Amino acid sequence: MAARMLKLAYELRHHRVGGWALDRWAVTLAWGASVFIGAQWLLRGKPVLPAWHWVVLVLLTLGGLGLLILRVWAARRSYVVFLPEPGLAPPPPAPLVQEDKIPLRATGRFDVQGRERLFVDLTAYWRTYASREHAVLAIQHPSRFLLLGHSRDEDAGMWYAFIPPDAIAEVMPGALRYGRQVNPGLRLVYRRQPPVPEGKRPPKAVNATIYLAFEEGAARERVWADLVADGGVTSAGRG
């Protein structure tokens, strides 16, 4: 149930109408209707109202508040449910070559050309270059939700997350839930360098988490073995 609510929260936040996210429209309309009903009641001299009027007013007010709470709660969880499995033994180290591309679905912060976004469940590939820097190469396709809502045009295209091996603090295996989907997953905690705004000083590196979901356990094992090859990083953190 929680995973479905998180997915709904992301869809409402990610898709827009007229420049506003759908969740912003929903809260604005709910509270706007509440204010309208209350104003009409006051302007008419506070007449006695049927009970169902008060029920509607309370539901609209609580509905708007509930959407705000859902928005904050879901964003803090990156819109996914991750069930860690610390008891799983890591595979033997097996570094990938830079031609290897492991398909997966990725959730986390990505950037391109100085822009930064949080995306959920993007089609992506894992690659490791000769320098041992890791990269998640993801693509955001245009999408729609509830007929009217659409993703931002400028978000369509490739997005990237680059992860130097010495920036990784933790690699945790587990099960990743997003909506109805349940997949073998990895949670990576690392120090991320945000993009540099034009004409400004580089921002400080921040702790970030990226979630990787795989269609099958074998693909997860390959990426995990590649990370084990970096040495020093376990599910308990850098040793």
pLDDT band at 39 (very low <50, low <70, confident <90, very high): confident
E strand or H helix that includes residue 2: helix 2-14
CA pair distance 127, 99, nearest whole angstrom: 8
226 and 111 fall within a common domain: yes
By residue range, what is the domain housing residue 158? 81-238
72 and 91 fall within a common domain: no
Residue 58 has a pLDDT of 87
208 and 111 fall within a common domain: yes
Strand 168-178 and strand 115-128: the pairing is unpaired
Distances (CA, A) of 45 to 34, 42, 61, 82, 86: 17, 5, 22, 53, 64
pTM of the model as a whole: 0.91
63 and 164 fall within a common domain: no
Give the mean model confidence (pLDDT) for residues 188-211: 88
67 and 92 fall within a common domain: no
Residue 238 has a pLDDT of 53
Residue 117 has a pLDDT of 96
Q: Does 225 score more than 80 pLDDT?
A: yes
87 and 62 fall within a common domain: no
Q: Residue 104 pairs with which residues in a beta bridge?
A: 124
Last residue in a domain, options 29, 61, 76: 76
pLDDT in tens, 96-131: 999 999 999 999 999 998 899 999 999 999 999 999
Q: Where do the H-state alpha helices sit in 15-129?
A: 22-43, 51-76
140 and 225 fall within a common domain: yes
pLDDT in tens, 132-155: 999 999 999 999 999 889 999 999
33 and 89 fall within a common domain: no
- Count of residues in the chain: 239
127 and 178 fall within a common domain: yes
Residue 233 has a pLDDT of 65
| C-beta atoms surrounding 81 within 10 Å | 21
Residue 69 has a pLDDT of 96
E strand or H helix that includes residue 116: strand 115-128
Last residue in a domain, options 59, 76, 93: 76
pLDDT in tens, 84-96: 999 999 999 999 9
86 and 62 fall within a common domain: no
Distances (CA, A) of 179 to 52, 124, 169, 235: 34, 18, 28, 25
183 and 162 fall within a common domain: yes
Instruction: Specify whether the CB–CB gap between 223 and 214 falls below 8 A.
Output: yes
Last residue in a domain, options 43, 76, 109: 76
CATH value at residue 226:
2.30.29
Please provide the average confidence, as pLDDT, over all residues in the chain. 92
pLDDT in tens, 22-32: 999 999 999 99
How many domains does one find in the chain? 2
95 and 65 fall within a common domain: no
Place of tokens 């890791």: 134
Structure token pair of residue 101: 């591309």
